Structure 1
């Protein structure tokens, strides 16, 4: 049966690619850690406890499409965004989970946010950037102190616009990393965000 899923590439400030060397994901927050000030959606990551039974692609299915995504994420394409789109029920989320699982197990997944219509904290974009930042502090240790510094310097950052949050909590810390590395960020079901303007803003970040 022909798939009704299609994809496109675009440019953005985030480049997916290869992480050079192991990533240490040990992560403990002290009571006074500035990162505790960042609210985040616990159900956002692909592997949150509420999603533990959500399926991934069966073996030897979606092979060509998955390989296309892997080629992109492995740095074989200079464009920064892989945009997967299609009708509801065509397996986009299953593909996203499959890709997320692959790079998580390879310690190459920076963060993931799976939107869900009517899903409370994952049904809107209010905690989108702060959730990404909290995950980045865990998965990319070199960014952790820079994110902490941003929270201290901008004590009201959780109440700022999404654009400002992205600038200070994500782009700023990553621009300060000494070692050039690339990471994969996966956003699923963006169309299920409850505010169309927020959707447009996230696409533009």
Structure 2
């Protein structure tokens, strides 16, 4: 029986190991405990998933009959937004933010959701967040950044590893300010991805849609 002071070995990668006579030979490095896989995911990425508001996605299964534009309606405005996303709209060229405004009931959310679906199909959508005043999971900003970051990690696999490491390095990130979360979970990993990409590579998805700011319960967060 092992004594109580027997050290517990670290988990090891056995993919390139063998037994030679009674001696165990390990050809790969011991896995850092911080990178230990839990349920198929790194701890940092698993924590990101725990802070996602799935009801805020443009195609969420939790939203019954979400507002969308009827076929062949709002064609001009949706085309303008799509052209702006791709840098093809001369009037709005170089503008990083597009604000869609109008009276209540004018169809802003319907346009935003329809654009999100179209851009998702065409590969230009990085992420979206649809606030909802009556839904406690998406009527505040606490899960905004994590939800966007998770979607980006699905579109850009190289982003995923970087953001997981940043969460491992700062386990308290989801309790920090929105500004700090945005810098850590979106700007820094996205900058790292862009720095590694060749200038001659194909255009990267660049559109992020945030809809319904007035449905965020805290005015200061709006």
| Rg larger for | 2
The corresponding residue for 2:163 is 147
Q: Report the number of matched residues.
A: 171
Structure 2 residue matching 1:176: 3-state secondary structure: helix
Normalising by structure 1, we get a TM-score of 0.79
The corresponding residue for 1:73 is 85
Normalising by structure 2, we get a TM-score of 0.73
Structure 2 residue matching 1:187: 3-state secondary structure: strand
Over 6 Å off, 4+ runs: none
| Worse overlay, 168-177 or 63-72 | 63-72
Higher helix residue share:
1
The corresponding residue for 1:100 is 116
Structure 2 residue matching 1:51: 3-state secondary structure: coil
Matches within 5 A, 1:47-86: 47-51=59-63, 53-76=65-88, 77-86=93-102
The corresponding residue for 1:188 is 211
Structure 1 residue matching 2:86: 3-state secondary structure: helix
The corresponding residue for 2:45 is 35
Structure showing greater relative contact order (alpha-carbon pairs closer than 8 Å, 6 or more residues apart): 1
Distance 1:133 1:187 in 2: 13
Assess, with a 3 A threshold, how the Cα gap between structure 1 residues 140 and 52 changes in structure 2: closer, same or farther: farther
The structural deviation recorded for 1:31 is: 4.5
Taking only aligned residues, the RMSD between alpha carbons, in angstroms, comes to: 1.5
The equivalent position to 1:166 in structure 2, one of 182, 190, 203, is: 182
The structural deviation recorded for 1:153 is: 1.2
The corresponding residue for 1:156 is 172
The corresponding residue for 1:198 is 221
Structure 2 residue matching 1:110: 3-state secondary structure: strand
Question: Would you say the 8 A contact 2:123–2:205 is kept in 1?
Answer: no
Listed as ranges, the gaps of 5+ residues in structure 2 are 1-38
Listed as ranges, the gaps of 5+ residues in structure 1 are 1-28, 200-205
